[in-house]
Amino acid sequence: MESALDQPVLVLNRLWQAINTCSVRRAFTLLYQGQAQVVSAEEGNDFSTHDYRSWWDISQAKPEPVMVKTISFNIRIPRVIVLLMFDRLPKKEVKFTRHNVFERDKSTCQYCGKTFDRVGLNLDHVLPRDRGGQTTWENIVCSCIPCNTRKGNRLPHEAGMQLIRKPKRPKWRPFVNVSFTHHPHDSWKHFLDLAYWNVELGD
């Protein structure tokens, strides 16, 4: 059985956006160093934050069945932490893969705005390849086959077409699409839902 210290903790940035997971062990280090605080779910969607001292206090006042046991005391397992600084963010570039382009574009044709099964979509070079267009986040979009055919070897405006949004490199790995090796903890749900909506509506 895995140690409680190896369990995953959801990591939020200062804007309370889910960005990553780390181990309980790492979360305690960040907590102890004052680089992060525990986010604890109260009734409903109210959250409180705790530094190491206050988490220790709450652990003694409200123990849970599963705790991290140290030599002298038990402490509750944090499930979500929030980083207090920006410069400690683990920088994870989103890999430029076919899968991630489909994820970024939500399997939606970037010309007609319709959603398709993946088999119904191509990757289109906005500036065609033989006119110097590169295979990059900024020049590749999902396109349905009819739109792709209509556009052909032209720029969108030359074909009387328009992109529904400007293609960009995603800022954060769209968290909802990360395949979890662990079942996400219940207390993550609020932040993952939030991440989902942020991905959906954000730039």
Burial class (CB in 10 A: 0-12, 13-18, 19+), 139: middle
Q: Are strands 36-41 and 18-23 parallel, antiparallel or unpaired?
A: unpaired
Please tell me the count of residues contacting Zn ion according to CB under 5 A: 5
Shorter beta-carbon distance to Zn ion: residue 136 or 162 = 162
Contact 92, 84 (CB under 8 A): no
**Choice between 74 and 107, CB closer to Zn ion:** 107
Residues 36-75 that bind Zn ion (CB under 5 A): none
Angle between helices 24-32 and 52-61 (to 10 degrees): 120
Residue 134 to residue 120: CA distance in whole angstroms: 23
Question: Site residues for Zn ion, window 127-156 (CB under 5 A)?
Answer: 144, 147
Q: Please, which of residues 73-132 interact with Zn ion by CB under 5 A?
A: 109, 111-112
Determine whether 96 is exposed, middle or buried from the number of CB atoms within 10 Å of its CB (0-12, 13-18, 19+): middle
Q: CB 134 → Zn ion: shortest distance, Å? A: 22
Residue with tokens 């529904």: 164
Cα torsion for 101, 103, 104, 110, to the nearest 10°? Answer: 80
| Least CB distance to Zn ion at residue 119 (A) | 14
**Residue nearer to Zn ion on the CB measure, 29 or 153:** 153
Nearer to Zn ion, 88 or 165 (CB): 165
Q: What is the DSSP string of 82-150?
A: EES-STT----PPP--HHHHHHHTTTB-TTT--B--GGGEEEEESS-GGGT--SSTTTEEEEEHHHHHH
Q: Give the residue with the Cβ less far from Zn ion, 120 or 184.
A: 120
CB of 176 to Zn ion, least distance (A): 24
Please say which residue, 82 or 109, places its beta carbon nearer to Zn ion.
Answer: 109
The single-letter code of the amino acid at 149 is: T
Q: How far is the CB of 115 from Zn ion (least distance, A)?
A: 10
Least distance (Å) from Zn ion to the CB of residue 140? 15
Smallest distance from Zn ion to CB 114, Å: 6
Site residues (vs Zn ion, CB under 5 A): 109, 111-112, 144, 147
